[in-house]
Structure 1
């Protein structure tokens, strides 16, 4: 991981600005957005497993 982390700033510097956001801000938004979807998927899975448990008992 240290190798990847050390290359990230250089990689972000080579990406053109996206609208008014810097590449680092865009990456932050992407990570936040992905986290929101992970939470949604987790809720769906919990609801599914709860329904399955009710159905089988």
Structure 2
């Protein structure tokens, strides 16, 4: 396992506020306020049906 270049001194404070340390903000999907649409999903029910089939 190669740790890369390990600095001999601690980086300055300006190093830690660089753009490459910014993480995207993850938010849940917006839901219909009336509740008619339900929660969007990625189709796990279809996947389970295909993977398990009639085993249950």
More helix by share: 1
Regarding TM over 0.5, the answer is no
Per chain length, whose mean CA-contact separation is higher, i.e. which structure has more relative contact order (CA < 8 Å, sep 6+)?
A: 1
TM-score (norm 2): 0.30
TM-score (norm 1): 0.29
Larger Rg over CA atoms: 2
